[in-house]
Amino acid sequence: MTDAVSLIRAKRDGQRLADDDIRWLFEAYARHEVADEQMSALLMAIYFRGLDRAELRTWTAAMIASGDRLDLSSVGRPTVDKHSTGGVGDKVSLILAPLVAACGAAVPQLSGRGLGHTGGTLDKLEAIPGFRSALTPDETLAVLTSAGCVICAAGSGLAPADRRLYALRDVTGTVESIPLIASSIMSKKIAEGTRALVLDVKVGSGAFMTSYERARELAETMVALGEEHGVRTRALLTRMDVPLGRAVGNAVEVEESVRALQGHGPGDLMEVTLALARQMLGLAGIEADPAAAIADGRALAAYRAMVRAQGGDPDAPLPEAAYTQVLPAPASGWLTGLDALKVGIAAWRLGAGRARKEDDVSASAGIICLVKPGEAVQAGQPLLELRADEPERFGPALAALEGAAAVSDQRPAPQVSPVIEEVGPA
């Protein structure tokens, strides 16, 4: 007879968990026959001992089986989704979902909220007056069918075991385990019913994974999980040492996304977006040029259709902050660095982010990067524009930005591509 203590001891001592034992664990945990303290102990054992590929496949399958799976077979288009591991100024989803939909795919994007220095896609879209991110499965399917894309919260019925496990990981110091990260992300993406998935795994100071080696390991692990569960999966490793684009926040990122859909997006943002779009269309079996869908207005039309279908008004003015303040350039020369983590923390302190999941965020707070690395600056020239609803937020935000900008009197080498490499099935 299987019991939780035996499984904890086995993993603690470096043994592998049998498939039947993993399935029993999740079923017993759902019945509250395994205590949170016991599951926490097992998560810590996994943090140190890991899960091999077979264990991880069964662990992820058990998380999926803990809830419902969406059936997208009635949509009538090939389905493909994208997931980002999170960064600073990463508003790619807002541009990418309607862009790929405009090219003929259906994009069912279940997204999350920001925590700490990384922004959340739902927080950004909810800056649009009337926009609803909490949709029922029937509403999700209706928006996807009518607009070609939907960006909404994952319903409570999809991989509910993940919600409980993530809460435990958050308070037990086991968030950083690659098998646990991979199963958390992929269980929800597989349960949402998409046939194909492209992962944007960020690398750098503003990313969850700061080292290339760890980011590549996570990408390879998630790609393998997707393929093993019948979802065609690819990953791109992309840089996150510098904020992506020029806007960091909620309403300000929506504004920049709309400009990008109008054909006026910053170069780094558009390079990442178009690279992901090409990967998504390739997996969906669609031959189309995503740049053309921006140039002829189809992508913007798809975005407006999605916003309307989710209750939002794409023509309504976005919230504006009551107060602004600038950070001046510390010297004359060329900006050679702008630390994404420090900018992200500053935006969070301005009110754009949250420390706990239940905290509110400001729609209008954020930062505009007036200068990006590679551009020339004069001492005292405004480098960043900070926006907040309360003036007392500027002090802590400016403290977070101490040393964020690097200026050199030597012209820097041309900026490297934000796209590092593609990771496919082994």
Given the residues 162, 200, 268, 339, select the one marked as catalytic. 162
Angle at CA 402, nearest 5°, toward 396 and 406?
Answer: 150
Q: Is 46:215 a contact under the CB 8 Å cutoff? A: no
188 is catalytic: yes
| Residue 177 region by backbone torsions, left for phi larger than 0, else alpha for psi between -120 and 50, else beta | beta
In DSSP terms, 334 is beta-bridged to 376, 408
Per DSSP bridges, beta strands 149-153 and 107-111 are: parallel
Q: Is 386:321 a contact under the CB 8 Å cutoff? A: no
13 is catalytic: no
Long-range contacts, 121-125 (Cβ 8 Å, 24+): 121/91, 121/93, 121/94, 121/151, 122/151, 122/152, 122/153, 123/250, 123/352, 123/361, 123/363, 124/91, 124/94, 124/250, 124/251, 124/253, 124/254, 124/257, 125/94, 125/151, 125/254, 125/307, 125/310, 125/312
Given the residues 82, 113, 169, 202, select the one marked as catalytic. 169
CB-neighbour burial class of residue 69 (10 A; exposed 0-12, middle 13-18, buried 19+): middle
Taking alpha carbons only, the member of 124, 140, 84 closest to residue 258 is 124
Which 3-state string (H, E, C) describes 189-254? HHHCCCCEEEEEEEECCCCCECCHHHHHHHHHHHHHHHHHCCCEEEEEEEECCCCCCCEEECHHHH
Given the residues 117, 124, 188, 387, select the one marked as catalytic. 188
264 is catalytic: no
362 is catalytic: no
How many CB atoms within 10 Å of residue 79? Answer: 22
Per DSSP bridges, beta strands 81-84 and 196-203 are: parallel
32 is catalytic: no
| Residue 285 region by backbone torsions, left for phi larger than 0, else alpha for psi between -120 and 50, else beta | left
Encoded tokens for 275: 């690279």
Q: Is 136:158 a contact under the CB 8 Å cutoff? A: no
Given the residues 93, 184, 362, 364, select the one marked as catalytic. 184
Residue with tokens 């798809």: 302
Report, as residue numbers or ranges, the catalytic residues: 83, 162, 169, 184, 188
